[in-house]
Amino acid sequence: MEENITSLAAFSDFFKDTLKLKEVDVKTYSPLALAYIGDAVYELIVRTKVMNHGSTQVNNMHKKSARLVNAGAQAEIIRRLLEDEDLTPEEVATYKRGRNAKAVTTAKHATVADYRTATGFEALCGYLYLNGNLNRLVTLVSRGLERIGELE
């Protein structure tokens, strides 16, 4: 019988070992590549938090998640974290790299400013995830969600 994973560090190690991921310097990834994985990780955190608020119809959980997994909400989260100076200089630099990246895709339901800001937030999420800083990632996302008054 396999052991249960009881910590974020153990999860990260398990993931790397099981998927046979090679060691890569995260700083070599483009900011848009970081945003690509960061988008998925952010959505997983949000869905987990939504489910943790109690079992309800899947449609209701989806609606609540969709309100948070969009450019407008993500832009608001990172703005609050920046205003409150919750980010380290390295995290701010990573966010700015993502925000300033020239994306080919365009925003469908958001302003260009919100879309670019959200891309920076997603890049930060991806950076923290790929560096194994899962505790910091979850902490920042949770703070951001609290600051925008969601999931209460």
Domain spans, the chain:
32-147
Q: Which CATH superfamily is domain 32-147 in?
A: Ribonuclease III domain (1.10.1520.10)
pLDDT, tens digit (0-9, with 9 covering 90-100), for 98-152 = 999 988 777 778 899 999 999 999 999 999 999 989 999 999 999 999 999 876 5
More confident residue, 30 or 7: 30
Closest CA to 43 of 21, 60, 16, 67: 67
d(C-alpha 115, C-alpha 110), whole Å: 6
pLDDT, tens digit (0-9, with 9 covering 90-100), for 77-91 = 999 999 999 999 999
- CB within 8 Å of 130: residues ≥ 6 apart: 24, 26, 29, 34, 37
Q: Which residues are catalytic?
A: 39
Q: What is the mean pLDDT of residues 32-61?
A: 91
Query: One-letter amino acid identity for 141?
Result: V
Would you call 71 exposed, middle or buried from its count of C-beta atoms within 10 A (0-12, 13-18, 19+)? buried
Q: What is the mean pLDDT of residues 5-34?
A: 81
- Residue 5 clears pLDDT 70, i.e. is over it: no
Is the full-model pTM beyond 0.85?
yes
pLDDT of residue 6: 61
